[in-house]
Amino acid sequence: MYSIIISLIVGAVIGAITQRDLGTGWGIFCAVGAMLISQIVIGLLIRRKVGKLNLQLQQIMQAAQAKINRQMQQYQMRPPGNMRLAQQNLEKLQSDAVRRTLEATREFEPWYKWNMMLKKQINTMKMQLHFQLKEFGKVDELLPKCFLLDPRSLAIKLVRLYKNNDASIDKFYDRKCKKLKGEDAALVALTYAWIKLRQDEPQKAVAALVAARKLSDNQTLIENCDRLVNGKYKHFNNAGLGDLWYSLYLEEPKIKPQRQVQQRMY
């Protein structure tokens, strides 16, 4: 907003001076040119500042990931007596890093008035971070204020529509998700299909996967599409998506307990 106001003022001043000295035509031309140049200069300055702030966020997450990796290596070298507590410790390290990142996003707020798109971009980041923390009330609050363009944001929106029993889920999928391609199409289509199966609407799940298969060669998508086309609804399985799937909190990963083999002493 501020950048537009400043550009208008600069354009008006330059245009008035030029019009007085060279005439109306040159006045209009120079006014428009001054507005464009000022917008470009301001945009570059804001982009540089925002880039530094983005780098700070990346450094927070990278430092946290390095700390988590070191802790995991320690657990591998010296297995803890209580694996559940060890897992909880790793999860706490991760959640602390996410909260520090959320806190750091406040540094962007003074720049919202300079870039009208920046607030939505940061809201999208915050929404995903709150979802990672399972703070779903804040996620629902932020979703209408986000850019829903990337596959994870779209998948999260589908999940929240499902959890809130929102009847607009089909309309949202048709409007926002059908044109995705490749891996993006696979994640969103498989999420929607899983939801439709839970809502006892297998025909919509089949239609979504058949359409997505034309735009993606993802193996999990292909396998699930074949299962549904052949009526094997109970064999539908998104485990092949790995962490992308489980991070949506619709299913827990199935970890088979390892059997301890006792060695006989001879």
Convert the pLDDT of each residue in 170-214 to its tens digit.
999 999 998 899 999 999 999 999 999 999 999 999 999 999 999
Give the C-alpha separation, 200 to 13, whole Å: 65
Mention every residue, 6+ apart, whose C-beta is less than 8 A from residue 32.
11, 15
For 1-34, write each residue's pLDDT tens digit: 566 676 667 657 676 777 676 777 777 777 677 6
**pTM for the whole structure:** 0.79
Rounded-to-integer distance, Cα 252 and Cα 56, Å: 32
pLDDT tens-digit profile of 214-234?
Answer: 999 999 999 999 999 999 999
Q: What percent of the chain has pLDDT over 70?
A: 87
Residue written as token pair 């971070």: 129
What's residue 34's pLDDT?
Answer: 67
DSSP codes joined into one string, the chain: -HHHHHHHHHHHHHHHHHHHHH-HHHHHHHHHHHHHHHHHHHHHHHHHHHHHHHHHHHHHHHHHHHHHHHHHHHHHHS--S-HHHHHHHHHHHHHHHHHHHHHHGGGGGGGTTT-TTHHHHHHHHHHHHHHHTT-HHHHHHHGGGS---SHHHHHHHHHHHHHTT-TTHHHHHHHHTTT--HHHHHHHHHHHHHHHHHTT-HHHHHHHHHHHHTT---HHHHHHHHHHHTT-GGG---GGGTHHHHTTTSS----PPPPPPPPPP-
